[in-house]
Amino acid sequence: MNTLRQLEAYLDTMVKDVENISLFLIGHTGVQSYLKTEESNYVQQTNGH
């Protein structure tokens, strides 16, 4: 039973971390501009051109 409680706490922490990272990425202007870029420019952006 103790192991299940520890697992629950670990998974809860992991889910909260993912939520926080998602909120950060949603609000990040660099991510927003990248997502708005036309598909043909993805390769250029990822290669640093």
pLDDT digits (tens, 9 = 90+) for 1-49: 999 999 999 999 999 999 999 999 889 998 888 888 776 666 666 665 5
Q: What pLDDT is recorded for position 46?
A: 65
Domain that holds residue 8: 3-47
Q: What pLDDT is recorded for position 43?
A: 63
Q: How many domains does the chain have?
A: 1
Q: What pLDDT is recorded for position 41?
A: 61
Assigned token pair, 22: 């998602």
Distance from C-alpha of 39 to C-alpha of 46, rounded to nearest angstrom: 12
CA angle 19, 32, 11 (to 5 degrees): 10
Q: What pLDDT is recorded for position 40?
A: 60
Q: What pLDDT is recorded for position 12?
A: 97
